Structure 1
């Protein structure tokens, strides 16, 4: 039996990482960082939007910036030729 994560990848989900900067509730001039990661559908990102809606409704820290990275994990192999060699002590 396949794992739940593998089944989601077959359905088109990929690994999504969001770097969230938010203002501290007691000190609004200070930014804090939170990293969120889950499987989501690009480019609409319904899971991330659901999380951010929860954040704005339930948490006190105002969102400052959200940076998103997404990678489809199932796909053709990425190969590249190596042109050099580095030796370390």
Structure 2
């Protein structure tokens, strides 16, 4: 049985981190930071957009800005076939 996160990486998902700044509902002049991280597909970012839609619909703190960092952890050049195995000892 393989790990769900590893399966997603093989399907082309990369690790996505979003730094979300939002205004405090009771103090709109103050900004609060929220970090979100999940595996997502660039450049559409469906998981992040689903989360932001949930935020707008369910939470009271209005969004100020979102910064996104993305990195594919498993790329095609990182996989190669091994023809043999040598054991020492």
TM-score (norm 2): 0.84
Q: Which has the larger radius of gyration?
A: 2
Q: List alignment gaps of at least 5 residues for structure 1.
A: 78-89
The aligned runs of 1:6-85 (5 Å cut-off) are 6-75=6-75, 76=77
Query: How far apart, CA to CA, are the structure 2 residues paired with 1:9 and 1:62?
Result: 32
What SS does the aligned partner of 1:32 have?
Answer: strand
Query: How far apart, CA to CA, are the structure 2 residues paired with 1:2 and 1:43?
Result: 26
The 4+ residue runs of structure 1 with deviation greater than 3 A are: none
User: In the TM superposition, what whole-angstrom CA distance separates every residue of 1:7-47 from its partner, at most 9, and x where no partner exists?
Assistant: 00011000000000000000000000000000000000000
Q: List alignment gaps of at least 5 residues for structure 2.
A: 79-89
Query: How far apart, CA to CA, are the structure 1 residues paired with 2:34 and 2:3?
Result: 27
